[in-house]
Amino acid sequence: MISGGDSEGRAPLKTSIKVAAVFAVLLALCIAAVPRDSAVTKAQRAWVKAHPECAVCGLKRIHLYRCEGHHINPYHLRPDLATCPTNFVTLCRAHHWLVGHGGRSWSYENTNVLATIHAVRVAAGVERDRP
């Protein structure tokens, strides 16, 4: 039993609040550790505005379901291409997660995103395989 806790071994409320507060601070620090330049965000938005269809499924950006600009060459590997218009591909939110980040984690970057898009489109019968 935890000192000051109840008979079922739960921590006292004050300890739980302190743990939650520490967790919130750590989460805020992790989010702050990944800087996102406003120029990059503006470039992504401009790309999606000019190319509103998902490269995988063709879904267009609509009010409730957004499409996003994904870096072909990951931002952390090629920061020099971070705002380059030829370094973006438009993906709907679902395909951004599955194709752009492998369905694993938002921190995982698919470094072969164009080939993955092509493979998914071939498997779906939307596109023919290249010779």
Looking at the structure of the chain, the number of domains it has is 2
Q: Do 54 and 18 share a structural domain?
A: no
Q: Do 1 and 25 share a structural domain?
A: yes
Q: What is the pLDDT of residues 79-106, one digit of tens each?
A: 899 999 999 999 998 899 999 999 888 8
What is the distance between the alpha carbons of residues 117 and 95, in angstroms, rounded to a whole number? 9
30 vs 109: which has the higher pLDDT:
109
Given a contact cutoff of 8 angstroms between Cβ atoms, the answer to whether 2 and 11 are in contact is: yes
- In terms of residue numbers, what domain contains 5? 1-33
Q: What is the pLDDT of residues 26-49, one digit of tens each?
A: 444 444 444 557 889 999 999 999
Given a contact cutoff of 8 angstroms between Cβ atoms, the answer to whether 54 and 39 are in contact is: no
pLDDT at residue 19 tops 80: no
